[in-house]
Amino acid sequence: MSELEQHIKRVNDKLQQLLKGYQQLQKDNQRQSALIDELKKAKESSMQQIESLKEQVGILKAAAGKMNEADKKEFEKNINRYLRDIDKCIGILSE
């Protein structure tokens, strides 16, 4: 082989290696993106569960009569928010 052919072969081999590396990085990127999406969904689910549990704790405290002033205000705020939401729903259904 001539020196030029050897140089072309080396360049071609390096390009093939780069292409394989690029394809592997693309696959890794897709896996990482899927994992990120999955973790975001899990986080959202966990946050919803936390909010639900906080509401349950508030309800249990109210039922037990062991609420301090700050908890009472927060509980009233939540009840008022629910009532506003219900009023909005009734208004929409009335149309």
pLDDT tens, position by position, 25-46: 999 999 999 999 999 999 999 9
pLDDT digits (tens, 9 = 90+) for 59-84: 888 788 777 888 888 888 888 999 99
- Whether 75 and 62 have beta carbons less than 8 Å apart is answered as yes
Domain regions of the chain by residue span: 1-51, 65-95
pTM summary value: 0.59
Q: 90 versus 67: which is more confidently predicted?
A: 90
Task: Give the C-alpha distances (Å, rounded to integers) separating 16 from 9, 12, 20, 84, 87.
Answer: 10, 6, 6, 64, 65
Confidence bin at 10 (pLDDT 50/70/90): very high
What pLDDT is stored for residue 37 in this prediction?
97
